[in-house]
Amino acid sequence: MTDGAAAAIDEPGRPPRPPRLPVLLQAGVVAVVLGVVAAVSLTARQPPPPTVAEYAPQAVSQITQAPVEQSVDPGRGGVQQTTTTTAPGSDGKGVGSSSSTTTTTARAVVEKPRVRHCVGDPGRQIEDPQSPPCVPYFDPKTSNGGSTWRGVGPDAINVFWTPDFLETNVFVEDMANFFNARFEFYGRKLVMNRQNPRPGDADPTAMQADAQDAYDLASFAALNYSARSGAEYSFYDAAARLKIVSVAHRVQAQATDAHFRRQSPYEWSSVPTVDSMLRNYGQFLCGSLAGRPPKYAGGTTAGAPKRVFGVIVQEAADGSRPDLKPLQDEMTRCDASIAATVNDRVTSATGRTGQAVIAAMTDADVTSIICLCDGKELRETIMPAASAQLYEPEWLVGSYLDNDLDNSLNGAPNDQSAHVLGLVFRNKLLAKQDMPFYWALKEANPTSDPQGGAYYSVAARYSSLLVLASGIQMAGPHLTPDTFAAGLLRTRWANPGAGAPPYFQAPAGFDGGRRTFIDDASMFWLDPNRQSTVDPQNTGAVCYVRRGERHRLGDWPTGDQPFFTQPCS
């Protein structure tokens, strides 16, 4: 949107050109056209324009002005509009006593600099396939309601954020500039307010104080909070109590369907809930792994006749841990079970070896460990303990605490990381040139270029900003947490090419009232010797089964899957 752009001006249509056809021929053409117009008007009268964007992919805008593509002379000329009125007593179909009058009026002019270009058909706001429907125009003469909520003014929407791994102000400001330029915020702009989080990895008091700072800065919303070993919901919940909208980007113990509904309309996530993740995991295990030999294990474990499952649950820094019931319920459907469960509480104590955790697995003859673990704990403590005991199980990991990235297990013992497979619940991570977050950065600032591991943080921040921007746009001019929620919940995303090449992105949206942007997954394995897709300076790459084909509840395939088969893509 262009600041300070002039209001649209009503202008009569230009004088008609002198007729070039013979008079009689021209009169005949006019008569035919008027007849067609009258017939259409009587049989297909159009409803009045909506008061706000229709929440469907074909939506355009709340305004009566025509989008630029529909204008005779965008930015200047008016569009002639013909209407037919039918006298009382008519049934609209020419039955009964009636008379009609046809009038021609000039439609108001749209101001070209304020028109945003829609992408694709049906129209999306931006090139990202996960873009919301397009709202191409807001009349600058129309009031946006001014200060509709704390942190929302007539010109600005305050957004609070704390930096994560290798993240800088430049990247976040560039992305904010992109969304300000490309999304319809009804005369407002996102204003990003950074604050470094207070120290204390597991200190809920510090995180609650950070939420209070967000309130004191008059923030409407807060983006994904800095990683706190799975305890970040101390911040999000405190923000919700202060009536601040938040968008998370990490699957963790407290991110459940029930939790999000209790915190409505304030808490949202760009990745699935932990209970959705566990239900999908259970269906995946039943379809492709349960009842079969552990052929992806190593050493003597690979010779077992049938898989035996165990679970290692890492408690978050605040002591919370996921409820395994969704996983167990799904596994029960195929007569699979969990032979051993260990709760692994990570503390600051020195000398932890992980031997007790591994001993519990070997004592139960576990061949396949479902590890709901942080990557650092897995690679630095648990896997080395398994190597010390010459134990090489299958390691079944996923998006819980971001354990599905190229660098999650960088540095882990090779005899363990070579047996890693599982499900990834985020969008496929491609080379940065093929990622929407990178397109956004480059459009806003051609010199903006995150290197190495900064990719992860910038991609996560973009995903959270996309959810936030979508909710603000679809809320309409009167922005509050309630209109934000209503906008997201009734919007229908077009999702072109979801789950297919070239991007294999997840289908986005908040179907069924969920509060998470995506809700499905791809199968993957880890190649510890391959050059990283994300950070080519390191080794270790996530490899996607069938290049990233996605599945959701009720749609998981059965039979052996092509894990550990090349090429890795």
The predicted-structure confidence for 270-321, as pLDDT tens digits, reads as follows 999 999 999 999 999 999 999 999 999 999 999 999 999 999 998 887 889 9
Cα 173–176–181 angle (5° rounding)?
A: 125
Distance CA 242, CA 78 (A): 47
What is residue 24's predicted lDDT score, i.e. its pLDDT?
A: 41
**Which comes out higher in pLDDT, residue 86 or 33?**
33
Distance CA 222, CA 224 (A): 7
Band (pLDDT 50/70/90 cuts) for residue 469 is very high
- Give the pLDDT mean for 465-482: 98
CA dihedral 223, 226, 232, 235 (to 10 degrees): -60
To which H or E segment does residue 496 belong?
Answer: none
Q: Comparing C-alpha atoms, which of 78, 92, 69, 93 is closest to residue 8? A: 78
**Which comes out higher in pLDDT, residue 60 or 403?**
403
Band (pLDDT 50/70/90 cuts) for residue 84 is very low
Domains of the chain, with CATH numbers? 23-114 (no CATH), 156-272+429-513 (3.40.50.2300), 276-424+520-551 (3.40.50.2300)
Q: Is the dihedral of CA 111, 116, 119, 125 positive or negative?
A: negative
Distance CA 118, CA 121 (A): 8
Band (pLDDT 50/70/90 cuts) for residue 114 is low
**Which comes out higher in pLDDT, residue 176 or 113?**
176
Of 312-326, 336-350, 480-494, least confident by mean pLDDT is 336-350
User: How much of the chain, in percent, has pLDDT values that exceed 90?
Assistant: 70
What is residue 36's predicted lDDT score, i.e. its pLDDT?
A: 39
**What are the CA-CA distances from residue 303 to residues 80, 233, 295, 514 (Å)?**
79, 42, 8, 43
Above 60 in pLDDT, residue 79?
no
pLDDT, tens digit (0-9, with 9 covering 90-100), for 438-457:
999 999 999 999 999 999 99
Cβ neighbour number for residue 130 with a 10 Å cutoff: 26
Above 60 in pLDDT, residue 184?
yes
pLDDT, tens digit (0-9, with 9 covering 90-100), for 556-568:
999 999 999 988 9
pLDDT, tens digit (0-9, with 9 covering 90-100), for 199-228:
877 789 999 999 999 999 999 999 999 999
What is residue 554's predicted lDDT score, i.e. its pLDDT?
A: 97
Above 50 in pLDDT, residue 92?
no
Band (pLDDT 50/70/90 cuts) for residue 110 is low
- Give the pLDDT mean for 63-83: 31
To which H or E segment does residue 470 belong?
Answer: helix 454-475
What is residue 155's predicted lDDT score, i.e. its pLDDT?
A: 97
Of 33-37, 60-64, 174-178, 282-286, least confident by mean pLDDT is 60-64
pLDDT, tens digit (0-9, with 9 covering 90-100), for 384-409:
999 999 999 999 999 999 989 999 99
Distance CA 262, CA 340 (A): 32
Q: Kindly give the pairing relationship between strand 245-248 and strand 189-194.
A: unpaired
Above 60 in pLDDT, residue 489?
yes
- Give the pLDDT mean for 72-94: 33
Distance CA 547, CA 556 (A): 16
pLDDT, tens digit (0-9, with 9 covering 90-100), for 516-538:
999 999 999 999 999 999 998 88
Distance CA 176, CA 183 (A): 10
- Give the pLDDT mean for 508-521: 97
Above 60 in pLDDT, residue 51?
no
DSSP state of 130: T
Cβ neighbour number for residue 566 with a 10 Å cutoff: 9
Contacts of 215-218 spanning 24+ positions with Cβ under 8 A: 215/150, 215/239, 215/242, 215/244, 217/158, 217/160, 217/193, 218/150, 218/151, 218/158
Output the DSSP codes for 301-326.
Answer: GGG-SS--EEEEEEEPTTS-----HH
How much is the mean pLDDT over the chain? Answer: 84
Distance CA 1, CA 138 (A): 9
Q: Comparing C-alpha atoms, which of 469, 407, 428, 436 is closest to residue 165? A: 407
To which H or E segment does residue 423 belong?
Answer: strand 420-424
Band (pLDDT 50/70/90 cuts) for residue 351 is low
- Give the pLDDT mean for 24-51: 39
Distance CA 88, CA 21 (A): 38
What is residue 348's predicted lDDT score, i.e. its pLDDT?
A: 56
pLDDT, tens digit (0-9, with 9 covering 90-100), for 168-183:
999 999 999 999 999 9
pLDDT, tens digit (0-9, with 9 covering 90-100), for 122-135:
899 999 999 999 99
In the block, tokens 């994560």 appear at: 164
- Give the pLDDT mean for 483-492: 98
346: Cβ contacts below 8 Å, ≥ 6 apart: 229, 314, 315, 317, 374, 377
Q: Phi/psi at 149 (nearest 5 deg)?
A: -165, 160
Band (pLDDT 50/70/90 cuts) for residue 16 is very low
- Give the pLDDT mean for 428-440: 97
**Which comes out higher in pLDDT, residue 229 or 500?**
500
Band (pLDDT 50/70/90 cuts) for residue 71 is very low
Q: Write the Ramachandran bin of 246: left for phi over 0, alpha for psi from -120 to 50, otherwise beta.
A: beta
